[in-house]
Amino acid sequence: MTAQDTIRARARELLENGEVTTFIGWESGRFENQTTPLVITDASDADKLVCNEYCVNTLAKYARDVVTRGKVGMVVRGCDSRGIVRLINDQVINREDVYLIGVGCAGVRDRKTGELLKKCAECRHGDPVICDEMAGDAAGRPQPSERFKEVHEVELMTQPERSRYFEGVYAKCIRCYACRDVCPCCTCRECFVDQRRENWVGKQNNVAENRFYSLTRVMHIADRCIECGECERACPMGLPLMKLNRKVIKDLNDLFGEFESSMTLDEEPGKLITYDLVDCEEFM
């Protein structure tokens, strides 16, 4: 039995028994290599579920949206499961709210070229970090050798080069907020960009405001980013958003020691949100 068969069978069972109210997975479109996320509530829809190497979307964020209807069953790979850990640790959902069927993941391919997606080539955890049961075996994929390769490339630039580079990036941004909407860390009930009274960031679409938006978002997710790369994949303008995310993660690693966020439910609170008398204050 393939993992896909197991998922279909278990989804049907879970929905029939009433153990979950909704089930989240993927369905294929006209072709097998075109998939979209699928949310089902009826056991008879279980056969629509697919699980193949073209399931590009990370599912965690969908759990937040349907959890109010009742317990959610879902398929999780490494990225999905870390997204779920993030949501639980950020008190967005509870562990009891989700039933997780894990699948090992060897990476997702581009539907046109068939090549491994960038986010999957950089992925460090293909197998789920938490789940209630596994469908099929863990993939046990080797980790890429260098976590911060693209950061080094940016760090090698001179300051004016770097400034020009990012200005070019922000000149292209259309502020559609797709990066925010897809991010499992971006779960504020009201995002700072929508707060009109404070008016943290102007509505104008220009380099200055776009940069301010991007830098603020990077700092908001800094010590929580799960490095799923969904923001970069979702960006319709193809902006290299993970470069800046990874730069901040690298800096945090250098300042506070090696860490990877959202690996366990009992992880330590992020370094940026804890108070310690011996914190370094070299700027004081």
Binding residues for other proteins (CB under 8 A): 68, 89-92, 187-192, 195, 197-200, 220, 269-270, 272-275, 277-278
- CA dihedral 98→102→108→112, nearest 10 degrees, is -70
How far is 49 from 25, CA to CA, in rounded Å?
A: 6
Nearer to other proteins, 30 or 197 (CB): 197
Q: Which residues contact 158 (CB under 8 A, 6 or more apart)?
A: none
Specify the residue, 1 or 280, whose C-beta has the smaller distance to other proteins.
280
Residue 69 Cβ, how far from other proteins at the closest point, in Å? 11
- Cβ nearer to other proteins, comparing 8 with 217: 217
Q: Name which of 83 and 102 has its Cβ closer to other proteins.
A: 83
Q: Are 255 and 146 in contact (CB under 8 A)?
A: no
**CA contacts within 13 A on the Cβ side of 42:** 3
- Closest contact distance (angstroms) between CB of 92 and other proteins is 7
- Round to whole Å and give the CA distance between 227 and 122: 9
Least Å from the CB of residue 244 to other proteins:
17
Question: Taking the complex as a whole, how short is the minimal distance between the CB of residue 281 and other proteins, in angstroms?
Answer: 12
**What are the angstrom distances between the C-alpha of 191 and each of 39, 64, 88, 223?**
25, 15, 19, 18
Smaller CB distance to other proteins: residue 142 or 269?
Answer: 269
Q: Two tokens at 132?
A: 């209630």
Q: Helix-strand-coil percent breakdown of the chain, rounded to 5?
A: 40, 10, 50
The two three-digit tokens of residue 131, written as one number? 């789940």
Nearest to 245 by CA among 277, 213, 220, 278: 220
180 touches 239 (CB < 8 A): no
For other proteins, which is the closer residue by CB, 90 or 150?
Answer: 90
* Shortest distance in whole angstroms from residue 187 CB to other proteins: 7
Minimum distance, C-beta of residue 2 to other proteins, in the bound complex (Å): 38
Nearer to other proteins, 28 or 216 (CB): 216
- Of 28 and 187, nearer to other proteins (C-beta) is 187
Nearest Cα to 253, choosing from 227, 222, 276?
A: 222
The burial class, CB within 10 Å (0-12 / 13-18 / 19+), for 178 is: middle
Least distance (Å) between residue 166 CB and other proteins: 22
- To the nearest whole angstrom, how small is the minimum distance from the Cβ of residue 163 to other proteins? 21
Distance between CA 76 and CA 104 in Å, rounded?
9
